[in-house]
Homo-oligomer: A and B are copies of this chain.
Amino acid sequence: MESSSYWTAFLVFASINLALLLFASTITASVSPAAGGSGIPEVKAYLNGVDAPNIFSLKTLAVKVIGNAAAVSSSLHVGKAGPMVHTGACIAAIFGQGGSRKYGLTCRWLRYFKNDRDRRDLVTIGASAGMTAAFRAPVGGVLFALESLSSWWRSALIWRSFFTTAVVAVVLRLFIDLCGTGRCGMFGEGGLIMYDVSTLFDDLMTYHLKDIPTVILIGVIGAVLGGLYNFLMMKVLRLYNIINERGRVHKLLLAAAVSILTSCCLFGLPWFAPCRACPMATAEPNGACGSLNRFRRFHCPPGHYNDLASLLLNINDDAIRNLYTTGTNDVYHPGSMLAFFVASYALGVLSYGVVAPSGLFVPIILTGATYGRLVAMLLGPSSDLDHGLVAILGSASFLGGTLRMTVSVCVIIVELTNNLLLLPLVMLVLLISKTVADSFNSSIYDLILQLKGLPHLDGHAEPYMRQLAVGDVVAGPLRSFNGVEKVGHVVHILRTTRHHAFPVIDEPPFATAPVLYGLVLRAHLLLLLKKREFLPVQERYPKEYSIEGRFEAQDFDKRGSGKQDTIDGVELSAEEMEMYVDLHPFTNASPYTVVETMSLAKALILFREVGLRHLLVVPKACDRSPVVGILTRHDFMPEHILGLHPVLLGSRWKRLRWQKGAVTKYFRSLIVSLANRS
């Protein structure tokens, strides 16, 4: 740039960006596609009980770390907070599945974690550690996991996650101290000293009662912008999905296109901004403005700076710090701010869907800060609020508008700026923006969850569920096994269905009438078939049948992701197919059951609160088969229910979002009661 060979500079800039992003996209597309995107929706689904494959494997971990580093350094408008959360969850999940036997990283003590609940707890703790690492905010990390990720929470989990995040905060601080003294070589100081605005002009962080309307306005506009952001993001993601489905080449072409567009924006837009003299006479000998704000000279003569370049051509963390710095009200031009806002908004929407590990948080914070500063500039002298403070409020409102997070954002911002005085103001902004935006659409993570087709089950029952009974949504036909079943029948059922659990029904001579014995899992049936625990025909009803010594508890451990046994791996001879297997010792004799006339809403509450995967439906009267069906989470999904009963689609019970039905009902009952009294 010094030698004014601008096209060369642009080519160098764009080609480095392109190379880095193509590298990130290539490793994501070929090695582990599950590492693409933010990772937070996948973690949220896992913590809800959805066993999505491969989201926590070692490959995913490696691709996530390397790919995200490459994507962010390619100047793409993405962040690193979401990938850090996924990384933390991966590391925790690898502990939870007992290390990796393939790579020799295992330990006998880890086998106590090989069950669903401990794995989920570990992933929750890992996710909160990841968020803490991203923002150096221990309490905020725990509250983020509590508020946005986890579906179930226990008291014991709180202090465990908190201790983890405290350790993360300490280690981070150690590194900051270490690198601050210059011993980190290439790392330098930049990456780790984040948002250290607490020491700058604290006196300007004041507000008065008359600023409340301004704050409310910021909240409402943030909500509208956030809802629009979600809407546009969904449209773009659907379009990208269509493109990406065509093959790997298309994915790379899309990534290349986005990268070139980003480079053009970042390099091209600052040309439209005027050059300004360095503020406060901070000009240095080499012509740059010496200041913490890292003003960029770009094409300006020495002693001047380009404010748009100072925002666009800085890393996201520095740009955010620039915007948050108090006492810098006149550093930026409104025109530049508007241009940067539009560019940031558009690039944010367009960049996330690229096949590479990318995050949403920091771009949203940056966009919100820009919008905040813009509002402050437009308000001008009618408001006493410092522009840096309004930028913080703008970030908060935009985060509330897109991600619908309240408490965690509040605590993270307070921990970042180390200023407890901001707490009520930020809380107010978040509350307003979340409430207003919730009337438009869901949070972006929920929308992405739906887009990916992950069956996330909410805790509250939809209104139309109250009109349905369990028997109305049970889908047949039901496959069940006898207490002592023929091997060939077992193999046939396992091959022809995809269910993961089957009821076991005892017939004579085990019981006088057919009665439900319990529930047996596919994984355990496959284990039985592998171990060939068969009985010949004549010994079908053994007097004494003991499995002691033939199995270990570890055999029944839940496998880690990506290591499921399949029926295709089982080969049996024709003679073995004729033998029998006794399912009684391997059946769960205490399954949860509901009567078929039970309200669907109540069954959902049971299913969700206890954290089940299968719920047996038994008949009301005793004259039929002892089991009517099995419910899984797919039976509770709105698509399934409304598909079975389309009449509910137009029902006034369905739309609770607008509260229209409830308001109408209230007025109707009011009028009726008034009429009755007269």
Interface residues of A (CB under 8 A from B): 138-139, 142-143, 146-148, 153-155, 158-159, 162-163, 166-167, 169-170, 406-407, 410-411, 415, 418, 420, 423-424, 427, 430-431, 434, 459, 511-513, 515, 549, 552, 589-590, 592-595, 597-599, 602, 605-606, 609-611, 620-622, 673, 676
Task: Label chain A's interface by main secondary structure.
Answer: helix
**Within the complex, what minimum Cβ distance (angstroms) separates A398 from chain B?**
17
The answer on a CB contact under 8 Å between B423 and A166 is yes
**Min CB gap A554→B, angstroms:** 11
Cα distance A613–B611 when bound, in Å?
Answer: 20
For A411, the chain B residues whose CB sits under 8 A away are 139
Q: Are B610 and A599 in contact (CB under 8 A)?
A: no
Q: Which single member of B148, B163, B597 contacts A427 (CB below 8 Å)?
A: B163
Could you tell me the distance between the alpha carbons of A605 and B610 in the complex, rounded to whole angstroms? 7
Give min CB distance, A496 to chain B, whole Å: 30
CA distance A163 to B549 in the complex (A): 58
Of all A-B residue pairs in the complex, the 3 with the closest CB atoms, nearest first, are: A622-B622, A159-B406, A590-B599
Instruction: Specify which chain B residues have a CB less than 8 angstroms from the CB of A434 in the assembled complex.
Output: 159
Contact A427 B590, beta carbon cutoff 8 Å = no
Contacts of A420 in B (CB 8 A): 415, 418
Check B593–A589 contact: CB distance below 8 A: no
Contact assessment for B459 and A154 in the assembled complex, using a CB-CB cutoff below 8 Å: yes
Are the CB atoms of A513 and B418 closer together than 8 Å? no
* Given A155-B147, A593-B595, A597-B590, residue A162 in contact with residue B406 (CB < 8 A): yes
Which residues on the B side are within 8 Å of A154 (C-beta)? Answer: 459
Checking B153, B167, B513 against A424 with a beta-carbon cut-off of 8 angstroms, the contacting residue is: B167
Cβ-neighbour of A407 out of B159, B415, B459 (below 8 A) = B159
**Residues of the B chain whose Cβ atoms lie less than 8 Å from the Cβ of A602:** 590, 592
- Bound form: Cα–Cα A606–B143 in Å: 27
Question: Is A146's CB under 8 angstroms from B158's CB?
Answer: yes
**Chain B residues with Cβ under 8 A from A552's Cβ?**
673
Instruction: Given A158-B406, A169-B423, A593-B593, output 12 extra A-B contacts at Cβ < 8 Å.
Output: A139-B139, A146-B155, A147-B158, A162-B406, A162-B407, A162-B427, A166-B424, A513-B622, A590-B599, A592-B602, A606-B606, A609-B610
In the bound assembly, the distance between CA atoms of A595 and B515 in angstroms comes to: 12
